[in-house]
């Protein structure tokens, strides 16, 4: 799991939503997203104290360079993108569509190959620097120039680039054109997600910064004074192992929103300490993607000072089997591990009934997830608890004394391993399987999978597509899977079933019709369930906790955090 809170987040996007249908992907959207009716009583001013979960120092202040998008949410509340996920208080889901941000409108005259964006005028940083089309191009260039280790656009959206050059041109100050080799159904969503923001060469390279040891000419962000986007807030302070402070951007392009004067963002690793601070009114909120347990959420909901909103799946970390070699290149072994887990008991006893089983690709979204109970024989290898059958499969595979390691991060250890992995460890022991848990420092976990070889690597789901509620998920590994554990590359080369799955995956990436895409994703889910390429444990519902004086604190799926523009407090 990645660093979470405003300082970062797990590489996931999860949540529920209403049954309404998002706008078609190719539809141009116009207008300025402003405050909605439910915010007419909002009061300007005040400081929101919202804690995030992080151990020690952030891996670095450069959002383009830091693995795991540990600075992703900082970029989101300090910068602008071409589009933004719709996180307005009245939006269903709350994320249901893509709306304008720096781009006021867009059109695609050739069904997704060419995109013409009209940029708004007057989108300025707190220093008065205007964001223009040339800044967008430079920002896209910087992503590849400094070799982002993970989460960058060049990983999630490779067709945006030809080699290291973005396929983007500034026609003039307020017109940007992007040309793609083939349509991509996630285009508009990717232009509004956490993996990037519009940066300014002048700020990064001239404000006392190193000229760029990693990529000469592109600068090195070493201080918060270099984080000056055109978003609603800008950082004024970062104290290692303590937290961030933000102030409202006086030049933000929409004067109707960004109600808070400031945001204080202390870092609190221990959820119990955060719960105590909320109860003592020393904090206003904790989150998003921070892991109060189900029991903590139920207890906090009894307080007359706090409000608790339950959301599905705020953190979902699949495990990636190393299928490059024995024992996990044998589907019988993978199925045995899956069948050893009593998920229904897990949900009932550990989650107090507040949880759900995963359905492979999209385990939490009601629109797209296949209910395991309706998947028939396809779900049996992944979801049907059968300890006796698990033992038989292990025996048939010659793996009766199976031992393996699970590698997770120190962040994951605190919020995920305890008690989830420990519970799984005990369930596996019941069928004779020994699992040890390797806890690795967060940044090392993101960059180095060598220690997980011959084991299981806790990885992340990538490439969220908000507009169509789909994930083009290739094993959840992306750049996190090094050559030494390129399980998905091995499958792609050697496994005929996976080759068929990959063909379906590529087809759904360019399919713009929602119903057709849903059917393709169902196909992907059944194939993944049948082959147990990844392992998913049951996900608990997540309690989102804030002081009752806080309004519109409804953290969205993922962690884009545009919603902070709409949050306000009673005096």
CATH number at residue 155: 3.40.190.10
The reply to whether 559 and 514 lie within a common domain is: no
pLDDT at 230: 97
The reply to whether 182 and 330 lie within a common domain is: no
Q: Let me know if residue 300 belongs to a domain.
A: no
Of 8-12, 40-44, 430-434, 536-540, the poorest mean pLDDT is in 8-12
pLDDT at 234: 96
- Per-residue pLDDT at 447 exceeds 90: no
Give percent of the chain above pLDDT 70: 72
The reply to whether 558 and 520 lie within a common domain is: no
Instruction: Categorize the per-residue pLDDT at 375 as very low, low, confident or very high, splitting at 50, 70 and 90.
Output: confident
The reply to whether 247 and 134 lie within a common domain is: yes
Q: Domain tally for the chain?
A: 2
The reply to whether 197 and 336 lie within a common domain is: no
Instruction: Categorize the per-residue pLDDT at 450 as very low, low, confident or very high, splitting at 50, 70 and 90.
Output: low
Q: Let me know if residue 365 belongs to a domain.
A: yes
The reply to whether 343 and 464 lie within a common domain is: yes
* Predicted TM-score of the model (pTM): 0.81
Torsion of the alpha carbons at 163, 169, 170 and 174, rounded to the nearest 10? -110
The reply to whether 513 and 555 lie within a common domain is: no
- Per-residue pLDDT at 114 exceeds 70: yes
Q: Which domain holds residue 58?
A: 37-269+544-569
Specify the higher pLDDT residue, 7 or 388.
388
The reply to whether omega before 94 is within 30° of 0 (cis) is yes
Q: Are 52 and 243 in contact (CB under 8 A)?
A: yes
Q: Let me know if residue 553 belongs to a domain.
A: yes
Instruction: Categorize the per-residue pLDDT at 448 as very low, low, confident or very high, splitting at 50, 70 and 90.
Output: low
Q: Let me know if residue 30 belongs to a domain.
A: no
Instruction: Categorize the per-residue pLDDT at 275 as very low, low, confident or very high, splitting at 50, 70 and 90.
Output: very high
Q: Let me know if residue 310 belongs to a domain.
A: no
DSSP letter at 371 equals P
First to last CA, the chain: 35
- Per-residue pLDDT at 335 exceeds 60: yes
The token pair at 500 is 């068929």
The reply to whether 507 and 556 lie within a common domain is: no
Q: Let me know if residue 263 belongs to a domain.
A: yes
The token pair at 78 is 């300090």
The reply to whether 552 and 500 lie within a common domain is: no
Q: What is the domain-level CATH number for residue 514? A: 3.10.105.10
Q: Let me know if residue 8 belongs to a domain.
A: no
| Nearest C-alpha neighbor of 533 from the set 490, 568, 570, 569 | 490
Q: Are 253 and 123 in contact (CB under 8 A)?
A: yes
The reply to whether 259 and 132 lie within a common domain is: yes
Angle at 452 between CA 559 and CA 475, to 5 degrees: 50
pLDDT at 461: 40
The reply to whether 438 and 559 lie within a common domain is: no
DSSP letter at 418 equals I
For the stretch 304-329, pLDDT in tens is 999 998 876 655 556 777 777 789 88
DSSP element (H, E) containing 335: helix 331-339
Measured distance CA(531)–CA(523) in Å, rounded: 13
The reply to whether 378 and 326 lie within a common domain is: yes
Q: Let me know if residue 462 belongs to a domain.
A: yes
User: How far is C-alpha 16 from the geometric centre of its chain's CA atoms?
Assistant: 14
Q: Are 59 and 443 in contact (CB under 8 A)?
A: yes
The token pair at 104 is 């006021």
Give percent of the chain above pLDDT 90: 35
Maximum average pLDDT range among 178-192, 315-329, 330-344, 471-485: 330-344
3-state helix/strand/coil string of 189-216: HHCCCCCCCCCCHHHHHHCCCCCCCCCC
């Amino acid at each position: 799991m990645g660093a979470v809170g405003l300082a970062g987040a797990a590489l996931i996007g999860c949540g529920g939503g209403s049954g309404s249908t998002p706008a078609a992907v190719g539809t141009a959207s116009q207008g300025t997203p402003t405050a909605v009716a439910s915010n007419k009583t909002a009061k300007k001013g005040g400081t929101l104290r919202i804690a995030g979960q992080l151990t020690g120092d952030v891996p670095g202040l450069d959002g383009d360079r830091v693995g795991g998008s540990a600075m992703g949410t900082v970029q989101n509340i300090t910068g602008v993108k071409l589009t933004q996920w719709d996180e307005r208080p009245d939006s269903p889901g709350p994320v249901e569509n893509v709306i304008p941000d720096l781009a006021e409108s867009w059109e695609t005259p050739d069904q997704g190959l060419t995109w013409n964006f009209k940029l708004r005028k007057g989108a300025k940083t707190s220093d008065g620097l205007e964001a223009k089309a040339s800044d967008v191009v430079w920002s896209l260039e910087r992503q590849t120039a400094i070799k982002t280790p993970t989460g960058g656009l060049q990983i999630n959206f490779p067709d945006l680039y030809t080699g290291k050059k973005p396929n983007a041109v500034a026609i003039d100050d307020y017109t940007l054109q992007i040309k793609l080799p083939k349509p991509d159904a996630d285009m508009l969503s990717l232009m509004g997600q956490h993996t990037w923001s519009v940066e300014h060469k002048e700020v990064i390279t001239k404000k006392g910064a190193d000229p760029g040891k990693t990529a000469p000419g592109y600068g090195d962000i070493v201080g918060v004074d270099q984080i000056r986007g055109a978003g609603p807030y800008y950082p004024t302070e970062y104290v290692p192992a303590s937290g961030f402070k933000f102030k409202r951007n006086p030049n933000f392009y929409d004067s109707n929103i960004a109600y808070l004067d400031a945001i204080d963002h202390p870092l609190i690793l221990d959820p119990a300490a955060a719960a105590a601070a909320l109860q003592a009114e020393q904090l206003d909120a904790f989150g998003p993607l921070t892991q109060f347990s189900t029991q903590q959420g139920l207890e906090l909901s009894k307080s007359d000072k706090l409000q608790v909103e339950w959301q599905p799946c705020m953190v979902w970390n699949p495990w990636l089997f190393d299928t490059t070699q024995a024992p996990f290149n044998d589907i019988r072994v993978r199925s045995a591990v899956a069948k050893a887990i009593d998920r229904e008991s897990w949900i009932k006893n550990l989650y107090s009934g507040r949880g759900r089983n995963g359905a492979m690709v999209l385990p939490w979204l009601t629109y797209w997830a296949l209910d395991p109970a309706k998947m028939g024989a396809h779900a049996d290898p992944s979801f049907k608890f059968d300890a006796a059958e698990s033992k038989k499969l292990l025996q048939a595979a010659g793996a009766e004394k199976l031992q393996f390691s699970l590698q997770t991060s120190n962040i994951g250890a605190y919020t995920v391993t305890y008690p989830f992995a420990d519970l799984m460890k005990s369930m596996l022991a019941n069928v004779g399987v020994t699992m040890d848990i390797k806890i690795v420092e967060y940044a090392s976990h993101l960059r180095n999978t060598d220690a997980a070889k011959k084991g299981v690597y806790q990885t992340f789901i990538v490439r969220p597509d908000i507009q169509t509620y789909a994930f083009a998920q290739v094993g959840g590994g992306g750049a996190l899977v090094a050559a030494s554990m390129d399980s998905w590359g091995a499958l792609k080369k050697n496994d005929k079933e996976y080759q068929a799955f990959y063909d379906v995956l590529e087809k759904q990436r360019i399919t713009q019709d929602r119903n057709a895409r849903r059917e393709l994703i169902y196909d992907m889910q059944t194939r993944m369930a049948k082959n147990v390429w990844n392992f998913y444990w049951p996900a608990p519902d997540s309690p989102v906790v804030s002081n009752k004086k806080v309004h519109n604190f409804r953290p969205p799926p993922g962690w884009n955090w545009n919603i902070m523009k709409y949050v306000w407090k009673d005096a």
